[in-house]
Chain A
């Protein structure tokens, strides 16, 4: 509000009647101008959210009238749904590794590619490239690579004599989730790298010059200059990556549909399955509320850990 156009009207001297009338007119005009955006927000965001809250308290198959069941859906989710517990665990594990690796690699690449040279521009483009692909294309590419019998990964391992590394990547309960985590990191690291580069380029060069004068090594420079100065960017990257991890529906759905044995199911695939496959829309609504609460809690926790505001 500090830079709001209304600010100039809030001086100590009382304006004349004509001027006051004109101020009120301007205020009204401003409210009217916000109306299109506000109505879009209300119809496309607020109302669906409120409807979702309402449906979460019902048993509804999407066809007949919803039946009010109070908090039964939440009670069942908490006490009598092993699958939901397992899926929540999967999602937290998925998010944990994706946040660690995606943020780590993005920062590492950004540190090395922060200067604008032809070589760095080439590598930036290379690392950013997967981001421009659609999730389904990425999934198809990796489905072929991960094929346990004819995929390029296992074929390569077998050719170089590392047969024990040739796994049933997406078909085994032990490796499927990690195989998808790898794809997710490969897919989005470039995007986060670009955010980091933008953040790192804002760090004043004088700080590095002073560190050089003091004889700081590259690691000391990173620890004492780059990392603290990049914390606000890290906070954005971590929060964004976390949300992305909860929304990785398309990648999971196109690769494993949540299998084998729901080992790769995450909250979004479970919600989709519950709503559109089993037609339990009320229960799916309650699952989605739990997912939103989880995102709030985790990003809040991350905010505390990074000790910053964003």
Chain B
């Protein structure tokens, strides 16, 4: 028996080693060869990667300072992505704001979830984003059936967290093994992972590659270049930036790029924003005034549409989608809406680096991890289990791919495969040096609104000093 056991153990061990070796070869080689890169060979762009699977290679500096392709752990723990959890029978609601953009794709995903979890039912409850920001908290708080919900990064997530509305997902396998670790930060509060950001999006402006090629324009590499490009684009009959100054939520997206290289480092930027947010500093502070001045310079260089403060979001999308404007300064999240207006835009969009310094930029783009999925703490135990199962389902490569390709959104999930042409085109940005969108460091929505209104007013032609003084006073009164 003993001999047999030993033999059996050895056989199993050999089998296991062979299986691991085969798995490594089968997973590492295709990804490496497919990308034309090989483990350990030299590379040139730090941060570049062959993808976002757990077998991807990343260009990284070794101890000798040389850049080589290395395999790094993208998730916060080792191990292959975990499969979806099983859901018990029951019905829950899924609350979010992306009905127009994602509703149909979520319908498909929910149908798949229900087919694989017989007896579990999920109903989408959707509100427009503005209403969701304002009323989401009160509606979900009083609805135990709203077992799974999404929040915006920043003030809304913090509001839900402070209200003790979310269960802790820190220990879940899907949190540790299925999600890109860096992208988890916005869903963390006081050391607990209270939500999983699904989106990995870029709040860089989007540009029309066809127009740039036709006009033989080069992408501006610094602020002077940007101003010159605006003048050239205007002279050629275009509206350089399709900026929607009449719709604050999207007008404010450009603020991310404006802030991107405005501070010597991220910690300083964070501190500066926190000071304004809490009233320790006002808008007349030198760095903010300098940034406001850049908005003015851009307005003077005719970067913005005529009557910019009256341009709605729909008008801005139309300007871009119909080729009247080569750049829309919001982000990749609008590519779906642009293609709805003009399907011919498919494959013609790429991300634009809006650099507002003439020195060497620290960052070339903005990344944001939002649409944070959480489980409602007030839901029943069974409903929480269904909610967890649904989140785990969303975080599998298969389902995340369906979501990403159906909605033109990059996702924060390992093993997601992009087949959508615009996602493939812009995937390279996942390996560039991007900054986590600083606009959402303002946690006081009232302060952020006034600050953004001040910048809109400056673009509209108001004098910088008087405008910043006026709005600083309003912020002070709001915080007192």
Name A residues whose Cβ lies closer than 8 Å to a Cβ of B: 62-64, 76, 80-83, 143-144, 146-150, 168-172, 253, 256-257, 259-262, 272-274, 276-280
Which listed segment binds A: B39-47, B201-209, B256-264, B304-312?
A: B304-312
Quick check: is B314 within 8 A (CB to CB) of the other chain? yes
Query: Which listed residue (A170, A277, A278) contacts B246, Cβ 8 A?
Result: A170
Q: Which of B246, B248, B456, B473 contacts A82 (CB 8 A)?
A: B473
Known contacts A63-B163, A82-B474, A149 near B305 by CB under 8 Å:
yes
Report if A276-B135 is in contact (Cβ < 8 Å); known contacts: A82-B473, A83-B474, A260-B453.
yes
Q: Which residues of A contact B245 (CB under 8 A)?
A: 171
The residue that A260 contacts in the complex, of B133, B305, B449, B457, with Cβ under 8 A, is B457
> Are B460 and A260 neighbours in the complex by a CB distance under 8 Å?
yes
**Which of B133, B138, B308 contacts A171, CB < 8 Å?**
B308
A143, A253, A259, A262: residue with the most chain B Cβ atoms closer than 10 Å: A259
B446 closest partner in A (C-beta): A278
Contact (A171, B311) CB under 8 Å given A62-B138, A259-B246, A276-B135:
yes
Known: A259-B248, A260-B457. Contact between A278 and B445, CB under 8 A?
yes
Decide yes or no whether B478 CB sits under 8 A from chain A: yes
Which A residues touch B117, using CB under 8 A? none
> In the complex, A62→B162 CA distance in Å?
11
Q: Taking A259-B248, A272-B134 as contacts, is the C-beta distance between A168 and B309 under 8 angstroms?
A: yes
Question: Does B306 contact A148, Cβ atoms closer than 8 Å?
Answer: yes
B 168-202 to A, binary, CB cutoff 8 A, 1 in contact else 0: 00000000000000000000000000000000000
**Other A-B pairs beyond A171-B311, A257-B130, A277-B446, 6, CB < 8 Å:** A80-B477, A144-B314, A146-B310, A148-B306, A260-B453, A260-B460
Among B298-323, those with CB < 8 Å from A are: 305-312, 314-315, 318
Q: Which residues of B contact A149 (CB under 8 A)?
A: 305-307, 311, 315
Within the complex, which residue of B159, B315, B477 is in contact with A147, where a contact is CB–CB below 8 Å?
A: B315
A150-B315, A277-B446 are known contacts. Are A76 and B480 too (CB-CB below 8 A)? yes
Answer whether residue B444 sits at the interface, using C-beta atoms and an 8 A cutoff. Answer: yes
Q: Cβ of B456 and Cβ of A260 under 8 Å apart?
A: yes
Give the interface SS of chain A, mostly helix, strand, loop or mixed. Answer: loop
Q: How far is the CA of A168 from the CA of B347 in the complex (A)?
A: 34
Q: Tell me whether A63 and B162 are in contact (CB under 8 A).
A: yes
Verify A171–B310 contact, CB threshold 8 A. Answer: yes
Given contact pairs A148-B306, A171-B310, A259-B453, A273 touches B446 in the complex (Cβ within 8 A): yes
Majority-rule SS of B interface residues: helix
8 Å CB contacts to A: which residues of B234-251?
Answer: 245-248
CB of B161, distance to nearest CB on chain A (Å): 10
- B residues 437-451 near A (Cβ < 8 Å) are 444-446, 449
The distance in angstroms between the C-alpha atoms of A169 and B310, with both chains bound, is 7
Residues of B within 8 A of A146 (CB): 310
What residues of chain B lie closer than 8 Å to A144, measured between beta carbons?
Answer: 314
Q: Is B310's CB under 8 angstroms from A147's CB? A: yes
With A and B bound together, what is the CA distance between A273 and B446 in angstroms? Answer: 8
Task: Count contacts on B: residues with CB < 8 A to the other chain.
Answer: 37
Which listed residue (B247, B310, B473) contacts A148, Cβ 8 A? B310
Contact partner of A279 (CB less than 8 A), chosen from B159, B307, B318, B460, is B159
- B305 partner residues in chain A, CB cutoff 8 A: 149
B445 x A277 contact (CB < 8 A): yes
In-complex Cβ contact of B134 among A82, A83, A276 (8 A):
A276
Inter-chain CA distance A168–B460, complex, in Å, is: 10
- Which residue of chain A lies nearest to B471 when distances are taken between CB atoms in the complex? A261
- Provide the bound-state CA to CA distance between A170 and B311, in Å: 9
- B133 CB → nearest A CB, Å: 7
B477 touches A82 (CB 8 A): yes
Report whether B246 and A171 are in contact in the complex, using a CB–CB cutoff of 8 Å: yes
Nearest residue, chain B, Cβ from A64: B162
Contacts of B445 in A (CB 8 A): 277-278
A-B pairs, 5 with minimum CB distance: A171-B310, A148-B307, A171-B309, A278-B446, A276-B134
Q: How far is the CA of A146 from the CA of B310 in the complex (A)?
A: 9
Nearest chain B residue, comparing its CB with the CB of A276? B134
Which residues of B (100-134) have their CB < 8 Å from a CB of A?
130, 133-134
Nearest-neighbour CB distance to chain B for A25, whole angstroms, equals 42
Contact B133–A277 (Cβ < 8 Å)? yes
Q: Is the CB of B315 within 8 A of A81?
A: no
Question: Would you call B311 and A80 a contact (CB within 8 A)?
Answer: no
Contact indicator A259/B477 (Cβ below 8 Å): no
Min C-beta distance of B58 to chain A, whole Å: 41
Across-interface contacts of B457 in A (CB, < 8 A): 260-261
CA distance in complex: A276, B155 (Å): 12
A170 → B minimal CB distance (Å): 5
Residue pair B246, A262 in contact (C-beta under 8 Å): no
| B426 CB, nearest partner CB in chain A, Å | 28
| Residue in B closest to A166 when the chains form the complex, CB atoms | B307
Bound Cα distance A230, B247 (Å): 43
Q: Is the CB of B309 within 8 A of A260?
A: yes
In the complex with contacts A81-B477, A278-B478, A259-B311 CB distance below 8 A: no
Contact of A168 among B137, B307, B444, B456 (CB under 8 A): B307
CA–CA, A276 to B245, complex, Å? 23
Q: Residues of B contacting A256 with CB < 8 Å?
A: 246
- Chain B residues 143 to 172 lying within 8 A of chain A, measured CB to CB, are 159, 162-163
Contacts of A76 in B (CB 8 A): 480
Of chain A, the residue at the smallest CB distance from B247 is A257
Task: Tell me the complex Cα distance, A62–B314, Å.
Answer: 33
Q: A63-B159, A82-B473, A261-B453 are in contact. Are A172 and B309 (CB under 8 A)?
A: yes
Beta-carbon nearest neighbor of B452 in chain A? A259
Contact (A148, B134) CB under 8 Å given A260-B460, A279-B159: no
In the assembly, what is the distance between CA of A146 and CA of B306, in Å?
A: 14
Q: 22 interchain pairs (CB within 8 A)?
A: A62-B137, A64-B162, A76-B480, A81-B477, A82-B473, A143-B312, A149-B307, A149-B311, A150-B318, A170-B310, A171-B460, A172-B309, A260-B246, A260-B453, A260-B456, A260-B460, A261-B453, A262-B453, A273-B449, A276-B138, A278-B444, A280-B446
Find chain B residues with CB under 8 A from A64 CB: 162
In the complex, the chain A residue whose C-beta lies closest to that of B246 is A171
Given the complex of chains A and B, what is the CA–CA distance between A143 and B281 in angstroms? 37
* Chain A: minimal CB distance from B316 (Å): 10
Please report the C-alpha to C-alpha distance between residue A278 and residue B480 in the assembled complex, in whole angstroms. Answer: 13
A257 touches B248 (CB 8 A): yes
Chain B residue with the shortest CB-CB distance to A283: B478
Question: Which B residues touch A168, using CB under 8 A?
Answer: 307, 309-310
Which residues of B are found within 8 Å of A257, using beta-carbon distances? 130, 247-248
CB distance from B283 to the nearest CB of A (A): 14
Give the distance to chain A from B299, nearest Cβ to Cβ, in Å: 13
Task: Determine how close the nearest CB of chain A comes to the CB of B36; give it in whole angstroms.
Answer: 46
Could you say which residues of chain A place their CB within 8 Å of the CB of B480? 76, 80
